[in-house]
Chain A
Amino acid sequence: MSALVDLMDYDDVLATYDPVLGLEVHVELSTNTKMFCGCPTDFGGEPNTQVCPTCLGLPGALPVVNGKAVESAIRIGLALNCQIAEWCRFARKNYFYPDQPKNFQTSQYDEPIAFDGYLDVVLEDGETFRVDIERAHMEEDTGKSLHVGGATGRIHGAAHSLLDYNRAGVPLIEIVTKPIVGAGERAPEVARAYVSALRDLLRALDVSDVRMDQGSLRCDANVSLMPKGGDTFGTRTETKNVNSLRSVERAVRFEMSRQGAVLSGGGSIVQETRHFDESSGSTSAGRRKETSEDYRYFPEPDLVPVAPSREWVEELRGTLPELPWERRRRIQQEWDLSDAEMRDLLNAGAVDLIAATVEAGASSAEARSWWVSYLLQQANLRGEELAALPITPVQVARVIELVTTGTLTNKLARQAVDGVLAGEGEPDEVVAARGLKVVSDESALRTAVEAALAANPDVAEKIRGGKVQAAGAIVGAVMKATKGQADAKRVRELVIEAVSA
């Protein structure tokens, strides 16, 4: 299918057009219960077992707002530097769709709980790009449909569909950016970095699982092109189903190339919903709507307005954890890193790992050294992200501790790490199983030294004669005899001691 789409060379697109982005991110809150009823929100339950009259849309049932969800919405708004509404209402968004039990979604319309904020996004080269936030509002998720009988399991060609309403009513926060202009060639990167930064932020706030693969964080990307230097936005498309950070970047890039080709060919862009296909990296048009949508929004009469007192808002501001960018600033200072060093750590995805290793007792210098040198090498060899290595910060900290206390040499430590990476267990188990311990038993070492001196009487004589550097040969022999598990420095001391005795 995608072969039929004309694409314009990316550089050519940028030579002629400026991209404009708009990102809509839906976040499922990790509250215990749904937005408007007491049903659990757990993922993956048996179909239609987490439902009640309210979330099934049964006649007569009524919604009651989950206070925790409002709290989470306000905290998200505050973390995004938003204003918090002094008074706002829920609204009904009316449209018929089988996954929507009431055939309206209870959402917020022109009175979002949070508005006018921004998120500073750090790009790969360390530059910061500010993404302005239009609004963050509360709403509810839909049920899930399973399409049966179609060749692809997709909606088209299906004979019928099966509905599970466990997800219906799960609290969602929709975060909408203002138009992102001026990103130019970095538009795809900005889109990805924004979603990534938002994910980190939501994780720090502990309000959502932010699992893109499970749909608890979903991104819709609006893309349009306007003639370079112009100020009138072009017609945009909205690409849905963008389920990973990498997909966000690819989808934006693809749409830019596709729209560039259409516009350059004298065509015009149709305002439409498009779907991103992970395997081909392309977007395709959804089914055209016969009539333009008219959601007939009106204030939800079953719910009363939300009017967060300023005291409550300030109290919630006080509960904000250290936010990702504050933490980065603090860490850079505490670890005494240059901007370039900090950027390298960020790009390597090492900051959290190092911080956790420090948390587990290691010094920041040691922790950093392990993660960005030996472990990064191992990750590169495996073609994996650093975080995907099968070793935990706690394990790394233990290895560092073993070195610091003299149980392992650096060389042995690397072998211990290799063992952990190979799945041989905890560092201590690897050390035991592989017999990696430094021989620190003094009498054993002394015996080995005596033996080496006896075997090399001429060398012993030289040392006695003052040629201390000749001790190296004896140390070497002892190290060989102990299979390298002795502390060479200590062996050397013992040799000198033995000769001068």
Chain B
Amino acid sequence: MSNPVSDEITRSTAAELAERIHRREVSAVEVTQAHLDRIAGVDPEINAFLHVDGTGALAAAEAVDAALASGEAPASPLAGVPLALKDILTTKGVPTTCGSRMLEGWLPPYDATVTRRLREAGVVVLGKTNMDEFAMGSSTENSAYGVTRNPWDRDRIPGGSGGGSSASLAAFEAPLAIGTDTGGSIRQPGAVTGTVGVKPTYGGVSRYGLVAFSSSLDQAGPCARTVLDAALLHEVIGGHDPLDSTSIDAPVPPVVAAARQGASGDLTGVRVGVVTQFAGEGYQPGVLRSFDAAVQLLAELGAEIVEVSCPHFDYAMGAYYLIAPSECSSNLARFDAMRYGLRVGDDGARLSAEEVMSLTREAGFGPEVKRRIMIGTHALSSGYYDAYYGQAQKVRTLIARDFAAAYEKVDVLVSPTTPTTAFRIGERVDDPLAMYLADLCTIPANLAGNAAMSVPSGLSDEDGLPVGLQVMAPAQADDRMYRVSAAFEVARDAAQGGPLIHRVPDLAVTA
């Protein structure tokens, strides 16, 4: 029972919806309701949402409509536009589980800064999206609440950890979403769902209220179906936050202007570096072919293409799987059954607090979280610290230096976002290392704290699944990658006969 009016709404971009809402051609409530209907229709199949807050969303939409009706200017360029929020950002009074049993039923008493900025901007939060437990994973298979399915092929993973956010975009359940990216959790799901995913410069978006996985790597960012939409959302959530000590006290780079400039389709004078390390063994041929075609398009847009070697990127994976688990072993220590969340084994007398902690953590965490906690505990323990954590931090320095050297020669770097297209559900669950390979290309930018994004480059010729082009830029130069991505997006659509996202198979809508 697909409804042409609401289909037309849900297939619009955020920029288009905002414009129509602000011109009062359509109300925020209608737009919100269309998306809630779509979620009700397709999400039983996709499982992108862990919690849908219909009441809250409609109330927020009504407030936007009321403000516009009284003649007020829109609170932001995205006022009235719906959004799907990754379930790792706290929402006051609305469940926040991080995809874990540990936090089942937890109602945070406070909003994350990102949540607060969205609300203040009049963005309508539809609900909370599925994810790998505590953002650890590349497939959402580590969610305690079931896997999210890829709208392009429901037997395949939507990427992770933010698979719910990206799948909600590809399933037209929301025009905008928020993800968080520690090693690729925004970009890799973006790549495998044919959507745009941006990891801003570390410190560019506040981490206050983002439930920490690896504090020195975590970064929240925008997810959307177009580069411009991502840029609009970036400017709403970005900027200095005194509640986050690692937040950069500088204006948000002019990403919207850059996206608009890029859309003109001219990249003359822009130097694009192709990282030679990201090719070869482990890369799916169709992914590499799509990447090569993308580089060719960039050259046709006037960009100067340069090959760049970043030798220490080969060690990025090792450094990441020491640093992230180390920080996670400490960050997740607070889930101990004392103050909030799950408590298992409290019989009122016999079992001690220590035993209840251990039983609860055993019951509340899934296997991947436990693995990483133990790896991290090991890497930080005396006798191993220097060889593991200490050495990983030095490698981190070397990777940052590789980037710095590269950015002396080029303005942006490009690579495939992921070595392969979406793999099948269940294919890698028993092989942690194979799973980790999904983040091979995305990890270096996290280690260096630089900006990086994934923009769809096309479909892989061997399986017809989306491929992502990763565009990376120096810290605080996020605008550069938006310009390049926006230019590429226009050229791609021209070359491929329309927006890639329109080629997502129709989903059966259950009434």
0 or 1 for each of A296-328: is its CB under 8 Å from B? (1 = yes): 111001111000000000000000000000000
Q: Which of B106, B330, B339 contacts A92 (CB 8 A)?
A: B330
Instruction: Write out the residue numbers on chain A whose beta carbons fall within 8 Å of the beta carbon of B112.
Output: 60
Known contacts being A58-B109, A101-B339, is A298 close to B389, with CB within 8 Å? Answer: yes
A110 to B86 Cα, complex, angstroms: 37
Q: Which of B244, B326, B327, B385 contacts A62 (CB 8 A)?
A: B244
B502 at the interface (CB under 8 A from A): no
Known contacts being A65-B245, A98-B353, is A301 close to B336, with CB within 8 Å? Answer: no
Q: Which of A61, A94, A296 contacts B209 (CB 8 A)?
A: A61
CB contacts under 8 Å to A, within B442-483, are none
Question: Does B96 lie within 8 Å of A301, measured CB to CB?
Answer: no
B510 at the interface (CB under 8 A from A): no
Q: Which of B108, B333, B335, B348 contacts A94 (CB 8 A)?
A: B333
A96 to chain B, nearest CB (A): 6
Number of A residues near B (Cβ < 8 Å) is: 31
Residue of A whose beta carbon sits closest to that of B218:
A301
Residue of B whose beta carbon sits closest to that of A103:
B333
Question: Does B245 lie within 8 Å of A62, measured CB to CB?
Answer: yes
Interface stretch (choices B142-150, B261-269, B376-384, B413-421): B376-384
A61 to B108 Cα, complex, angstroms: 11
CB contacts under 8 Å to A, within B210-236, are 210-212, 214-216
0 or 1 for each of B69-100: is its CB under 8 Å from A? (1 = yes): 00000000000000000000110000010100
Question: Does A296 lie within 8 Å of B380, measured CB to CB?
Answer: yes
Question: Does A58 lie within 8 Å of B245, measured CB to CB?
Answer: no
Question: Does A59 lie within 8 Å of B90, measured CB to CB?
Answer: yes
Question: Does A96 lie within 8 Å of B98, measured CB to CB?
Answer: no
Instruction: Write out the residue numbers on chain A whose beta carbons fall within 8 Å of the beta carbon of B377.
Output: 296
Q: Which of A58, A161, A163, A296 contacts B108 (CB 8 A)?
A: A58
A159 at the interface (CB under 8 A from B): yes
A287 to chain B, nearest CB (A): 12
B340 at the interface (CB under 8 A from A): yes
Question: Does B245 lie within 8 Å of A59, measured CB to CB?
Answer: no
CB contacts under 8 Å to A, within B235-278, are 242-246
Instruction: Write out the residue numbers on chain A whose beta carbons fall within 8 Å of the beta carbon of B385.
Output: 296, 298
Known contacts being A53-B109, A161-B353, is A60 close to B89, with CB within 8 Å? Answer: yes
A94 to B245 Cα, complex, angstroms: 21
Instruction: Write out the residue numbers on chain B whose beta carbons fall within 8 Å of the beta carbon of A57.
Output: 334, 339
A303 to B103 Cα, complex, angstroms: 26
Question: Does A304 lie within 8 Å of B245, measured CB to CB?
Answer: yes
A303 to chain B, nearest CB (A): 5
Known contacts being A59-B90, A103-B333, is A98 close to B245, with CB within 8 Å? Answer: no
Instruction: Write out the residue numbers on chain A whose beta carbons fall within 8 Å of the beta carbon of B327.
Output: 298, 301
CB contacts under 8 Å to B, within A92-150, are 92, 94, 96, 98, 101-104
Instruction: Write out the residue numbers on chain A whose beta carbons fall within 8 Å of the beta carbon of B381.
Output: 294, 296
What are some 8 contacts across the A-B interface (CB < 8 A)? A60-B208, A60-B209, A64-B242, A94-B329, A160-B349, A296-B329, A297-B380, A301-B215
Give B contacts to A, CB under 8 Å: 89-90, 96, 98, 103, 106, 108-110, 112, 207-212, 214-216, 242-246, 326-327, 329-330, 333-336, 338-340, 348-349, 353-354, 357, 377, 380-382, 385, 389
17 further contact pairs, Cβ within 8 A, besides A56-B339, A58-B109, A159-B349 = A57-B334, A58-B90, A58-B108, A58-B110, A58-B340, A59-B103, A60-B212, A62-B243, A62-B245, A94-B329, A94-B380, A96-B354, A98-B336, A103-B336, A104-B333, A298-B385, A303-B245
